[in-house]
Chain A
């Protein structure tokens, strides 16, 4: 079984400040980890993913995340927030792929990011 916990349903930062969105996961098998962003009335867009290899993953729009197995965490960061970053962010986990079996995504409840001018 897999689960995701996102700490903080709502995070506010000033424009230009560091963005830190927290994600902890639980998985009985090696995980793949994802961050998605959702703008109002839209679908989900992939920001970045961790599968194997380097634990620091860089994504689009200046975001990055670090996979820490010992802490079962995959926190999302961005050095300097921009107004256009205001959106809802979802962390997700899936089993590491191993054939044509089901590899559903399990999502956290999301964190809404507000950017204050």
Chain B
């Protein structure tokens, strides 16, 4: 069984640029959630995708957007990068209907904005 994978592992961008992060969900999972983890903080929920549609969103501005594809993989896009966007971005997959809300996390993408 393949776990959750994310790419790239590290990324450096400059302020104002745009970035796309990618996530492949675990086999059998149909839901993907994205979290932002700033240095020294707990992960914060960005949004969740189920059946290719956004299914809940945290307190993040519209310049954070996402997609889910028919194979349940997902992308997180961030436009007009700001210095405060520097963080570890975690993707988690899960299976709706499993009854436990357990989410399986990938290793994360470390984004640095200069």
| Residue ranges of A at the interface with B (Cβ–Cβ < 8 Å) | 4, 32, 34, 36, 41-46, 49, 51, 90, 92, 94-97, 100-110
Report the minimum CB–CB distance from B89 to chain A (whole Å): 10
- Whose C-beta in chain A lies nearest to the C-beta of B6? A43
Q: Could you list some 16 contacts between A and B, CB below 8 A? A: A4-B42, A43-B4, A43-B90, A43-B107, A43-B108, A44-B43, A44-B90, A44-B105, A51-B101, A96-B101, A101-B56, A105-B43, A106-B45, A107-B44, A109-B41, A109-B42
Could you tell me which B residues sit within 8 Å of A by CB distance?
4, 33, 35, 40-45, 48, 50-51, 55-56, 58, 90, 92, 96-108, 110
A95 to B97, CA, bound (A): 14
Name the A residues within 8 Å of B104 (CB-CB).
46
Interface centre among B43, B44, B92 (most CB of A within 10 A): B43
Known: A97-B99, A104-B48. A43 touches B105 (CB 8 A): yes
Given A100-B55, A101-B55, A102-B56, are A90 and B100 also a contact pair (CB < 8 Å)? no
Which listed residue, B96, B103, B110, touches A100 by the CB 8 Å rule?
B96
Kindly state the separation between the CA atoms of A41 and B106 in the bound complex, as whole angstroms: 11
Distance (whole angstroms) from the CB of A87 to the closest CB of chain B? 14
Distance in angstroms from B52 CB to nearest chain A CB is 13
- A97, A102, A107: the one within 8 Å of B43 (CB): A107
Nearest neighbor of A90 in chain B, beta-carbon distance: B42
Known: A34-B102, A45-B105, A100-B55. A105 touches B45 (CB 8 A): yes
Cβ contacts under 8 Å, A108 to chain B: 42
Q: Assuming the A-B contacts A44-B43, A104-B48, A107-B42, are A97 and B56 also in contact, with contact meaning beta carbons closer than 8 angstroms in the complex? A: no
Complex CA distance for A44 and B108, rounded to whole angstroms: 9
- A105 with B101, Cβ < 8 A, contacts A43-B90, A100-B96 known: yes
Beyond the given A43-B90, A107-B43, please list 9 additional residue pairs across the A-B interface where CB-CB is below 8 A. Answer: A43-B4, A43-B108, A46-B102, A46-B104, A92-B42, A96-B101, A97-B101, A103-B101, A107-B44
